[in-house]
Structure 1
Amino acid sequence: MFFFTLLLFSYSQTSQQIQNATADCREILSNPRLTPLHGTLDVVMNQNVSLSCHSDSGSPPVRYTLFKHSQKVSALNRTDLNPALFNLTINSASDVGEYKCKAENEISNGEKYSRSLNFTLKEPVSKPVLSSPNSQAKKGQNVTLSCLSEKGSLPITYTFFKDKQSIQAPVKMQNREAAVISVLIKSSSDFGMYKCKAENRLRNNTKYSNSFNFTLAEERSNSQPLIISLGLILLLLAIGLALAIPFFIIPSYKAKKCKRPMSSTGHTSIEKVEESEDRITYAEIEPVQPEEEYVNLSVIRRDEQENRSCATIYSKVLIRDGAQAGPLHSPE
């Protein structure tokens, strides 16, 4: 009996020693490392990304858990020391932000957390637009070119080309503004095809603009302003003449026509020759020399509408050497 009791005591001691030795072989986990497999934290919409969570030391099995803003995303168990891989898809802006992972094994107080990791959502640049305030230029003139992409994550770098050759150092814009350069038109070769290129930090994301060509502006001759001035003067004279005819020339002609002619000598005698309801005929006799006289027949018409009378000379009658003239009548 005593021997059996001694045997049991020895077995319990041996078992405790084995358990202590096994516990001494278990290793506490180190803090895991969370890293992206593609090497960059810049992502675009609908992109697939892979995150690796791994503790360099620690006794397996190890359980790895991925968190986003303290919310559990996924968990994986590893029976060896290989890293756990978490696959994600960036479907919206809410899928980017702070990520962490946790590693734990069977040893008490064996939970360890990694450092946080943040994704940045990047937008590809849109096709830039190349433009200029002047589409025409002449030799010796400075012209400006502007290049702008309306979409794309900042900063955006713009490069200007002429016939596929860079004409200036790249311009990096931190704001959503156009890159502007100045070009001196020295010769006809400067009227070539211009383009610009836009790119940001995203890989394989380069866009080229439309082509732009300057045309040679026609130089105006010095005689053109003189010709234009003469044309304006002639036009003003024609307008003035057209306005003067109804307002000045026609009324003056009518007034001269309605005025009864007077004698140049003042020694005239007037005789009434004929009278009717609508007109009166007068004979104006003017002596010129003793042997001859001139007779002017004037017909005066009555105009009831305008309430005036107009006189018109119809003929001249020459009387020579005291010959007696017969009765005078109007030619009408």
Structure 2
Amino acid sequence: MSQQIQKVTANDKEMLSNPKLALVQGPLNVVMKQNVTLSCLSEPGYPPVRYTLFKHNQQVSALNRSDLTPALFTLTISSASDTGEYKCKAEYNNSSGGKYSNSLNFTFIEPISKPVLSSPTSQTKEGQNVTLSCFSENGSLPITYQFFKGRQSISPQKTMQKREAAVIFLFMNSLSDFGTYKCKASNSFSNNTKYSNAFNFTLAEERSHSQPLIISLGLILLLLIIGFALAIPLFIIPLYKAKKIKSTRPSIGLTSPVNAEESENEVIYSEIEPVKPEEEYINFSVIRREEEKGENLKLQYWNI
């Protein structure tokens, strides 16, 4: 009898199949602090069966089942390190070996932040090429971007596997190409599409050909004003003072006759030349005027 029981038990052990690992609650794309539930069951099998959950060959939890109900494992995804590949193992108690299940891979996803739409320039001309870049700083990869002008899509979706901006090139062919642009970003996080700021391209004003000439003339005029302002204290004021001093000096002498009717007999003393330090005498002229009938006064000079 005991041999028959052992034979039945051995046959049942041989009937233990690879368990099946299934997701009961929650998604495979998980977010921070999210709970998920996994079930592990081997059928057919002979209870009791021990089920062990592994993450990258590291034991996470173990449960014993005395019936044919599955083992349920509840996990809390606290960080990105809790994501990855999970498997379960089914084995009879106090036996070696066991069989492994299929694997389930959990991916950590993060909501994306509002993307930023930018360009090296906001002013351009007709017939010129411009670039637009859209970038979301936060959010789990991959991130999908799309560009719009107004409400109309102007590019196919661009999926970025790396943390880098999506870039498109535009040709400003006509005035209709100027205006407001936007982009949107999305990832595997459900209901998580966000739109960027608005970016406007405006038509750059063309400079007139006379504008450089006007600027040059203005600079020349400014230089002339500065030069005149510097010349006033350096040249004009000293020259004016010199003329004023010269005009206040006494007359050097008389060289022309004087009418007798306009003057009476008198003696006038006047300085002829300034005194020079190196000379040892003072030079004066004495002018004597004598009145004669019908004749001009005669001038006589005497040096002292």
TM-score by length of 2: 0.72
Contact 1:280-1:301 within 8 A present in 2 as well = no
Alpha-carbon deviations, 1:93-112, whole Å to 9, x = none? 34234433222347965733
Question: How far apart are 1:204 and its partner, in Å?
Answer: 3.3
Say if 1:149 and 1:177 are closer, same or farther in 2 by CA, change over 3 A: same
**1:173 paired residue number:** 160
Q: Is 1:70 matched up with 2:58?
A: yes
Distance 2:271 2:220 in 1: 45
Question: Which residue of 1 is the match for residue 254 of structure 2?
Answer: 284
Alignment pair present for 1:26 and 2:26: no
Separation of aligned partners in 1, 2:93 and 2:62: 19
Query: Aligned with 2:211: secondary structure?
Result: helix
Q: What do residues 65-88 of structure 1 show as CA deviations (whole Å, max 9, x unaligned)?
A: 3234433424152522x5333221
One-letter amino acid of the counterpart of residue 63, structure 2: A
Distance change (3 Å), C-alpha of 1:224 and 1:78: farther
Amino acid at match of 1:215: T
Structure number with bigger Rg: 1
C-alpha change, 1:182 and 1:229, in structure 2 (3 Å) is: same
Q: Which one-letter code corresponds to 2:87 in the other structure?
A: K
Q: Give 5+ residue unaligned stretches, structure 2.
A: 259-269, 275-293, 300-304
Q: What is the aligned residue count?
A: 267
1:12 alignment counterpart: none
1:79 corresponding residue in structure 2: 67
Q: Alignment partner of 1:26: what SS?
A: helix
SS at match of 1:225: helix
Match of 2:204 in 1: 217
Amino acid at match of 1:248: F
Q: Choose from 139, 149, 156 the match for 2:143.
A: 156
Deviation at 1:167, TM superposition (A): 0.8
Q: Counterpart in 1 of 2:187?
A: 200
**Per-residue CA distance 1:6-25 (angstroms, 9 max, x = gap):** xxxxxxxxx56975786587
Find the counterpart in structure 2 of residue 309 from structure 1.
none
Residue aligned with 1:247, SS: helix
Range with greater deviation from structure 2 (185-194 or 110-119): 110-119
Q: Comparing both structures, which one devotes a greater share of its residues to strand?
A: 1
Q: Percent identity?
A: 63
Contact 2:90 2:98 (C-alpha < 8 Å) held by counterparts = yes
Q: Structure 1 residue 40: deviation in Å?
A: 6.1
Worse-matched range after superposition: 244-253 or 126-135: 244-253
Give the whole-Å Cα distance in 2 for the aligned partners of 1:207 and 1:299.
Answer: 103
2-structure distance, mates of 1:39, 1:257: 106
Q: 1:245 to 1:136 in 2, by over 3 A?
A: same
Match for 1:119 among 106, 117, 122?
106
1:58 maps to which residue? 45
Partner Cα separation in structure 2 for residue 126 and residue 36 of structure 1: 29
Give the C-alpha shift of residue 253 in structure 1.
3.6
Counterpart of 2:236 in structure 1 is: 249
Alignment check: 8 A CA contact 1:100 1:113 kept: yes
Equivalent residue, structure 1, for 2:87: 100
Contact 1:78 1:84 (8 Å CA) reproduced = no
Q: Is the 8 A contact 1:67 1:74 kept in 2?
A: no
2: CA distance between counterparts of 1:24 and 1:94?
40
1:227 to 192, 214, 217: 214
Pairwise CA RMSD of aligned residues? 3.6
Cα 1:244–1:70 shift into 2, 3 Å = closer
Q: Give 1:194's aligned amino acid.
A: Y
Q: Please tell me whether the aligned partners of residues 26 and 36 of structure 2 are also in contact (alpha carbons under 8 angstroms).
A: no
* Distance in 1, Cα, partners of 2:244 & 2:93: 135
1:90–1:23 distance in 2 versus 1, CA, 3 Å: closer
2:75 is equivalent to residue 88 of structure 1 = yes
The Cα shift of 1:147 comes to 0.9
Moved more, 137-146 or 251-260: 251-260
Select 2:174's aligned residue among 183, 187, 203.
Answer: 187
Measured against aligned partners, the alpha-carbon deviations of 1:272-322 in whole angstroms (never above 9, x if no partner) come to xxxxxx98554432469xxxxxxxxx99999xxxxxxxxxxxxxxxxxx74
State how far apart, in whole Å, the 2-side matches of 1:242 and 1:158 are. Answer: 63
- Measured against aligned partners, the alpha-carbon deviations of 1:123-142 in whole angstroms (never above 9, x if no partner) come to 23221111112122232222
- Tell me which moved more, 199-208 or 135-144: 199-208
CA distance in 1, matches of 2:232, 2:3: 138
